[in-house]
Structure 1
Amino acid sequence: MKVYVDTVGDPMKYQTKLQGIFPEIDITVAKKADATYSIVGAASICAKVARDKAVKNWVFPEGISTEDNAYGSGYPNDPATKNFMANNMDKVFGFPQFVRFSWSTAALILEKNAVHVSW
């Protein structure tokens, strides 16, 4: 079995880690794998279509209205999404679960506007 993985980080570090977890699988980790390996490109398109559908049909458990799609595409470079994030951030709890807190866009908004908590 062969697996191809796209990464934005260090390919060899990630490949070594995955190979250690799945020694029976031949794993190739590469930057821009979606452009290098057609199977990864196809998977990327499928993932984007599925993600776009999920975002379009998102129901906020927090009770936020989705009538006008004010949350945008869900991508952090989308101005509508940035505006949604800025207007729907709780100073203590952060964002609705729709938002990936690990995005640098989210992290910067939290750093600038949220209450600093030390654990």
Structure 2
Amino acid sequence: MLVGIDEAGRGPVIGPLVVGGVAVSDENCSELESLNLKDSKKYTRQKREELEEVILSLTECTYAEISASEIDSQRHKKTLNDIEVELFADVLLRFPQATKIIVDACDVNPVRFGEKICARSGVPSIISEHKADATYPIVSAASIIAKVQRDRRIDQLKEVYGDFGSGYCSDQKTIVFLRKYIKKEGGLPLIARSSWDTAKKLLEEYYQRPLDIFL
């Protein structure tokens, strides 16, 4: 059984980090490859959801996620890479029949990332590469599963907090939302990663502001 693992939501200042895992049998491997899958970011949301249905019909899928507040809590004692190692290992252990495992490395050192997952999960070997989601269809599938799940979780958060954009630091809509929230509440929402530099800078701006900055 071939297993691929990838994440979605490593960088955003708002929302969870999701790790997706996909396992395909030898019988369905060629059919999965025939889909010519790519990194989830190359597709529209509608296309990702269409592909998810096909992937689910051919494979076993799972995911693990960690909320923004839990990321902040763990980052007091762990790096983000260490948090991801634990999530990747958690997903991997749900596929005890795996014979080959490929992951999209989050660490600048892909070999180290794979070795840490092996140590955490007890599996003997893992293929860990940068851009694996663009090279291996099984990892592309995992990327799609993770991204679709994160999109759905973001939708749920927007039902509570309103439209905050994509949640990424480069999204001006996200920044405006956080500024307004900080102005109203005097702090960040629980869905924001307070350990992120972007969040820290917005708080600093607010508490050191001239009176008109957050108007």
| 1:35 partner amino acid | A
Q: 1:4 aligns with which of 102, 107, 127?
A: 102
Look up the match of 2:52.
none
Q: Deviation string for 1:7-38 (max 9, x for gaps)?
A: 23221121111112223353222111111111
Q: Which runs of structure 2 are paired with 1:91-102 in the superposition (5 Å)?
A: 94-102=187-195
Q: Per the alignment, do residues 99 and 49 of structure 1 end up closer, same or farther by CA in structure 2, a change over 3 Å counting?
A: same
| 1:32 partner amino acid | K
Structure 1 distance, partners of 2:170, 2:194, is 14
Look up the match of 1:80.
173
Contact 2:105 2:114 in 1 (8 A): no
Look up the match of 1:53.
152
> Quick check: which one's helix share is greater?
2
Shift of 1:76: 2.2
Q: Per the alignment, do residues 72 and 20 of structure 1 end up closer, same or farther by CA in structure 2, a change over 3 Å counting?
A: same
Q: Per the alignment, do residues 109 and 49 of structure 1 end up closer, same or farther by CA in structure 2, a change over 3 Å counting?
A: same
Structure 2 distance, partners of 1:13, 1:107, is 30
Q: Deviation string for 1:25-84 (max 9, x for gaps)?
A: 532221111111111111111211211121112154xxx4x2xx1x11222222111211
Q: Per the alignment, do residues 24 and 7 of structure 1 end up closer, same or farther by CA in structure 2, a change over 3 Å counting?
A: closer
Look up the match of 1:39.
138
TM-score normalized with structure 2 length: 0.42
Residue 82 of structure 1: SS of its match in structure 2?
A: helix
Structure 1 distance, partners of 2:111, 2:187, is 34
Q: Which has the bigger relative contact order, CA under 8 A and spacing at least 6?
A: 2
Identity across aligned pairs (percent)? 37
Look up the match of 2:120.
21
Unaligned 5+ segments in structure 2 are 1-97, 209-215
Structure 1 distance, partners of 2:139, 2:207, is 38
Contact 1:76 1:103 in 2 (8 A): no
Q: Paired residues, what number?
A: 107
CA RMSD, Structure 1 to Structure 2 (Å): 2.7
